[in-house]
Each structure stands twice: as structure tokens, then as C-alpha cells.
Chain A
Amino acid sequence: MSSTEVVLRNAASLAKEPLIDPSKSYADVTNDVCDPVERFPTKLWFKAFMVANIVMFIGLFCMGLTIATGIGQWGLNRTVGWAFDITNFVFWIGIGHAGTLISAILFLFRQKWRTSINRSAEAMTIFAVMTAAIFPLLHTGRQWLAAFWLFPYPNSRDLWVNFRSPLLWDVFAVSTYFTISLVFWYIGLIPDIASVRDRAKNKIRKTIYTILSLGWTGSARAWNHYETAYMLLAGLSTPLVLSVHSIVSFDFAVSILPGWHTTIFPPYFVAGAIFSGFAMVITLLLIAREVLPQLKSYIRHVHLENMCKVIMLTGLMVGYAYGTEFFVAWYSGNEYERFVFINRAFGPYGWSYWTMVTCNVLIPQLFWSKSIRRNLKAMFVITIFVNIGMWFERFVIIVTSLHRDFLPSSWSMFTPTWVEIGIMVGSFGLFFTLFLAFCRVLPMIAMAEVKSVIHGAKHEEAHK
């Protein structure tokens, strides 16, 4: 082999894998992405939607029961006052973080591979935050009075909420996060909705999409402002997403409870949120690719592989945090702190701790292998393990820190009732119902952005 051949071969192996099927034209993008919105859904989509619906109704029934009779329906007791509901809340809020990371942070870093997946990841964020918000609301017990506790409004008693409480910071953080994510998602959707509008044959359809598109025409003068606004929103969302899970972690870290009172929580929670969120994005996209096969040319192995790499990195960060927590518990010399951590790993809930470590730290290491990072079935299984692990992480933090407090006479155990389990399972039904409905009514891939990636790729080709 001559040296030129070696150089050429090396160059070929370094050449970037195309992000979009190179045979696709602009019109193909429009046709492929709008197709699922315009035709009768596939059988597989319908089946998935029905399953999600049934599961959602189980959850709604259990929520109804909780609202009608009170949270005595749950397995909480005097010692363990937070358990399943707060675990689910933190879990779902965390899921949302990957969406904002993909849509905002990767945008600012000019990562072009985000364009195929950002729309669905942002939708996931919004649905995950909606699902999450149910739990603290249910936990208030008398949900119809929630506004009185949660929002500062002028009321007949002239009382204000306590602005020094992390629980209130949480209300502001989560509602701001939801609002800004929704706005960002919608702004991104406007040009694509206009594409759907211009293809609509049916009058009712045309009217609906005209209203949703606000009458966008693709004028260059409008694009000029639009792109600036999009970048500004990305810039605002970036610190926002880091603040949200930090503030969620303050719910614990600001307390004086051993196991919760620790300064490592904000970065540890943010890394964990991105970790679980990326796992959920992969799970959802693998399902979406199956039920809407047109997407396979856009959501390719290269996108999924990149996300696996993020999972591996954040998984290592989470594993490092677990180690640091143990080290600090020992190094602090505080016997209560030390007890909590030994109890966490070797006490009655030790099985949940080791489930967490196995799912979050050990299993994602499989992604070091390139063949596993490109194997869709393996990826599906691993990402589900990651989500199980991340659910258990929150359960471990909350329940094991609470169940054995300073007074051994008040030690107790927490066992969930079927109502709590029903609400948790139902929350997945709600989330998947919303996501599958979204796949049917709105363009699931950011067409305008994908087209500009194709345009950029053509230019790169021309300059070779």
C-alpha cells in the first residue's frame, strides 16, 4: 500500500458520517416529516396510543381517588412524609432537562446533529414538566387551595408566601421553566406549521394550521428577527435549565437532614437530570422511529450514538458524585451523616441503593463499546435501565434519609399502596399519550433547521 493510499484511507475513516440521508432534497424533508401528520396513523402507532391511554386512565383513577379521599390513600407516615410523589416529581422534572440541553445548549455550541432530534426532545421536556407538576399538587392534599400556598397573590388575610422557602423557589423555577420551554418550542414550530398549512387540502385543517402558524410567510425580514430571538431564547434557557434542577435539589440541600444537607447536590442533580433525560430521549425516539418509519432517514445511528456518549459521560459524573457523598460522610466525622450513608447502602433499603448503582454506574459502561452504541436493541434496554436507576436514585435520597431519623423510637419503613403505584404508572401513560399525540398533529422534526443543515452540507461538498 502506498503512503498516499494510507493517507486517503485515513481521511475516509475520519470523514464525518452524514447527519441526514444525503439523497434527501428539501422537498423530501417536507414530504417525509409532514406525512405522519397528514395520513391515517399506522397500526403500530394506534396500538401504542391505546396502551398509553389505558395506562393513563389507571393513573387518572388513582389520582381521582386521592383527591376525593385525601393523601391518607398513600403509604406515607409520620417519619416518611415524602416518598413516591416527590420521587416521581424529581424524576419527571429531571427527564425534561435533556430536551432543553439539546435545544438550547447544543444550539449555542453549534452542534448540527441536534436539528433532527431537538423538536421531539423539546416536546418531551414540556410533557415531562406537565407530568411532574401533578405530583406536588397532589401532595398538597387539598389541591383546590393550592394557589393560596403556592403563588403570592393579594388574599383576604393579607398574608404572603414565604420567599425564604426552597419549596417556593421551586414553584417559581418550575413554572418559569415550563413557560420558557413552551415559548421556545412554539417559536421553533412556527415556520414548520406554516409548511403544514401550505400543504393542507382540507379547509378545516387549513384554518387550524393558519391560526397556529400565526400567518408566517417566511419573509427574510421576519427570519432576521426570528433567528435573533431564537438565539436569545437559547441563551436564556441555558442558565435556566441549570437553575431548575439546582433549585429542585435545594428542596433537600437547604434542610438540615443528614443525607440531604450537602453542597454537592446542585451539580449532582443537574448531571443526573441530563443523564436520565437523554436516556428517555433515546427510548422515545426508538419508539417513534418504529411507529413512524419515515423518520429513520433523519434520526440516524449517528444521532443516537452521540446521545449514548452523553449518557456515558453524565453516568460517570453521577457515579463520581455517589463516591464523593460517601467520602464526605466519612470525612465529615459527623456520626449522623455517617450512619445515614451506611444505612443507605446496607440498611433495609440497601437493595434500592444497589439497584441504583448497578443501573446508573455499571450498566452504562457498556457504551464504551462502539458496537453497543450502534445497536438499537441494546440501546433500548440500557436506556430503560438508566431510567429505572435514576428513579431509584431519587427514591434512595428521599426515603432512606427520612426513614431512620435522630430518634430510634420514630424509625419506620415506607411501603407504597396500590394507589401510589397506580399514579406512578399512570404518569408514564400520560406522558406517552401526550408524546404520541404530538407525533400525529405537529411536525416531529424541525424541517426548517434540517433544510439549513442540508444547505450547509451542499456548500461543504462544493468546497471540497
Chain B
Amino acid sequence: MKGIVGIFKDPDQLLHAAEQVRDRKFKRFDAFTPFPVHGLEHAMGLKRSFLPWVTFIAGLTGLAIGTGFQIWTSAFDWPLNVGGKPFISLPAFVPIMFELTILLAGLATAGVMIITCGLPNLKAKIIDPRLTDDHFALFISSDDPLYREAEISELFKKAGANEVRMV
């Protein structure tokens, strides 16, 4: 990860800078903020996260496993008469069907989110320790085809960056 970074004190300045970077058609850039700044995903032109699909599919999988496993064990693998109830006593299976739906959906959402964010990455480069405290940064990678150091530095400074440096 090499490139140029502008550090801001005000999240609103960061938002405006991000809009300009987006409008100038930069592709390989990112922002670093201590808290989720609302509107930043729009300012950077990020797409909606695909995670709801993961939750939905994992939830359905959990539901299918919960239903299938209970029916298989109670009615096929070892059918056991419990209080004269039918082998497939569907209403009694509902609680575990529900719990497994939630369990799989939750674990998959969290797991896929962590992987999508590129975590765990214990060697992640920390641009500046203040970025998890009260500073905000905009970063453009030197791999970007439109990368021109002087121009970007100018843009960051105009947008109100306190510091601009190479990392």
C-alpha cells in the first residue's frame, strides 16, 4: 500500500474531498475514519454492501438443516414413539428450526463481513495512530492510473487537509 494521504480534522472536509476524488474518476482510493461518517459511502461512490444476501442464504440454509435434521433423526434414522406424537411433529420442531436459522445467518454475516474487510490482517499498515482517535484521512494509491502526486496534494490542501504526505 503506497500512495499519498491527506489528513483532515473535520469529517465534513473529508466528505467534500472524497466527492472530488470520486468525480475525478480515481479508482484506487480509500478513506480512514475513527467512526462511520454518514454520507461517506455516497461521497466515495461505494456500492451497497452485498451482505444481506449472505444473511438471507445462510438463514435459509440454517432453516433447511434444522428441518431436515430433526425429521431425519426423529422419523427415519431411529423412529421413536414419544407420547404417541407423530414422528414428524412439525410444530414441536419450530423452535429449533428458528434457532438454527438465526445461528447460521448471524455467524455467516459476521464471518463474511470480516473476510470481506480483509481481516484478520495483523500486519495492516497503520497510516497514523490518530485515525482511530479524532483524525480523518483520504488515501490515493500510487497504483491508480490517474495518480499525479502534485495534483492530488494540491486537491487535498484546497479541501482543507492539515497534512499531506507520502506513505
What is the interface of chain A mostly: helix, strand, loop, or mixed?
helix
Closest to A459 in B: B12
Q: How far is the CB of A237 from chain B (nearest CB, A)?
A: 8
CB pair B74–A163 under 8 Å, yes or no, is yes
Complex Cα–Cα for A354 and B118 (A): 57
Pick from B70, B82, B119: contact of A215, CB under 8 Å:
B119
CB pair B32–A217 under 8 Å, yes or no, is yes
CB pair B124–A217 under 8 Å, yes or no, is yes
- With a cutoff of 8 Å between Cβ atoms, the chain A residues found around residue B103 in the complex are 176, 179-180
Could you mark each residue 179-214 of chain A with 1 if its beta carbon is under 8 Å from any beta carbon of chain B, else 0? 110011001001100110111000000000011001
Complex Cα–Cα for A218 and B129 (A): 11
Q: Decide if A110 is an interface residue (CB 8 Å cutoff).
A: no
- With a cutoff of 8 Å between Cβ atoms, the chain A residues found around residue B116 in the complex are 225
CB pair B31–A214 under 8 Å, yes or no, is no
Complex Cα–Cα for A452 and B126 (A): 22
Closest to B18 in A: A220
Q: Decide if B46 is an interface residue (CB 8 Å cutoff).
A: yes
- With a cutoff of 8 Å between Cβ atoms, the chain A residues found around residue B18 in the complex are 220
Q: Decide if A172 is an interface residue (CB 8 Å cutoff).
A: yes
Most buried by B among A163, A166, A239: A163
- With a cutoff of 8 Å between Cβ atoms, the chain A residues found around residue B151 in the complex are none
A220-B32, A228-B49 as given contacts; A172 in contact with B95, CB under 8 Å: yes
- With a cutoff of 8 Å between Cβ atoms, the chain A residues found around residue B78 in the complex are 158-160
**Which residues between 76 and 112 of chain A lie within 8 Å of chain B, taking CB atoms?**
none
Closest to A31 in B: B133
CB pair B52–A218 under 8 Å, yes or no, is no
CB pair A452–B36 under 8 Å, yes or no, is yes
Q: Decide if B57 is an interface residue (CB 8 Å cutoff).
A: no
Pick from B46, B105, B120: contact of A220, CB under 8 Å:
B46
Complex Cα–Cα for A26 and B103 (A): 36
CB pair B40–A30 under 8 Å, yes or no, is no
CB pair B41–A224 under 8 Å, yes or no, is yes
Closest to A223 in B: B36
Pick from B37, B46, B93, B98: contact of A163, CB under 8 Å:
B93
A226-B117, A455-B11 as given contacts; A236 in contact with B102, CB under 8 Å: yes
CB pair B70–A163 under 8 Å, yes or no, is yes
Q: Decide if A169 is an interface residue (CB 8 Å cutoff).
A: yes
Complex Cα–Cα for A418 and B46 (A): 62
Complex Cα–Cα for A152 and B41 (A): 45
Q: Decide if A463 is an interface residue (CB 8 Å cutoff).
A: no
CB pair B96–A172 under 8 Å, yes or no, is yes
CB pair B102–A176 under 8 Å, yes or no, is yes
Q: Decide if A243 is an interface residue (CB 8 Å cutoff).
A: yes
A160-B73, A172-B95, A236-B55 as given contacts; A224 in contact with B102, CB under 8 Å: no
A229-B51, A239-B102 as given contacts; A455 in contact with B113, CB under 8 Å: no
- With a cutoff of 8 Å between Cβ atoms, the chain B residues found around residue A220 in the complex are 18, 30-33, 37, 40-41, 44, 46
- With a cutoff of 8 Å between Cβ atoms, the chain B residues found around residue A26 in the complex are 34, 133-134
Q: How far is the CB of B19 from chain A (nearest CB, A)?
A: 13
Most buried by A among B11, B36, B122: B36
Number of interface residues of B (CB under 8 A): 65
CB pair B34–A451 under 8 Å, yes or no, is yes
- With a cutoff of 8 Å between Cβ atoms, the chain A residues found around residue B38 in the complex are 452, 455-456
Q: Decide if A306 is an interface residue (CB 8 Å cutoff).
A: no
CB pair B92–A164 under 8 Å, yes or no, is yes
CB pair B132–A195 under 8 Å, yes or no, is yes
Q: Decide if A173 is an interface residue (CB 8 Å cutoff).
A: yes
Pick from B34, B98, B107, B125: contact of A183, CB under 8 Å:
B107
Q: Decide if B100 is an interface residue (CB 8 Å cutoff).
A: yes
Q: Decide if A216 is an interface residue (CB 8 Å cutoff).
A: yes
**Which residues between 19 and 66 of chain B lie within 8 Å of chain A, taking CB atoms?**
30-38, 40-41, 44, 46, 48-49, 51-52, 55
- With a cutoff of 8 Å between Cβ atoms, the chain B residues found around residue A160 in the complex are 73-74, 77-78
Q: Decide if A240 is an interface residue (CB 8 Å cutoff).
A: yes
Complex Cα–Cα for A162 and B75 (A): 11
- With a cutoff of 8 Å between Cβ atoms, the chain A residues found around residue B127 in the complex are 217
- With a cutoff of 8 Å between Cβ atoms, the chain B residues found around residue A30 in the complex are 34, 132-134
Complex Cα–Cα for A217 and B167 (A): 15
Complex Cα–Cα for A452 and B100 (A): 34
For the A-B complex with A240-B99, A448-B36 known, give 10 more contacts whose Cβ atoms are closer than 8 Å: A25-B134, A168-B96, A172-B96, A217-B32, A220-B18, A220-B32, A223-B41, A227-B49, A228-B52, A233-B109
Interface residues of B (CB under 8 A from A): 11, 18, 30-38, 40-41, 44, 46, 48-49, 51-52, 55, 69-70, 73-74, 77-78, 80, 82-83, 85, 89, 92-93, 95-96, 98-100, 102-103, 105-107, 109-110, 113-114, 116-127, 129-134
**15 A-B pairs (CB sep. < 8 Å):** A26-B133, A26-B134, A160-B73, A162-B80, A163-B93, A180-B102, A187-B110, A198-B130, A214-B119, A215-B122, A216-B132, A229-B49, A233-B106, A233-B110, A236-B55
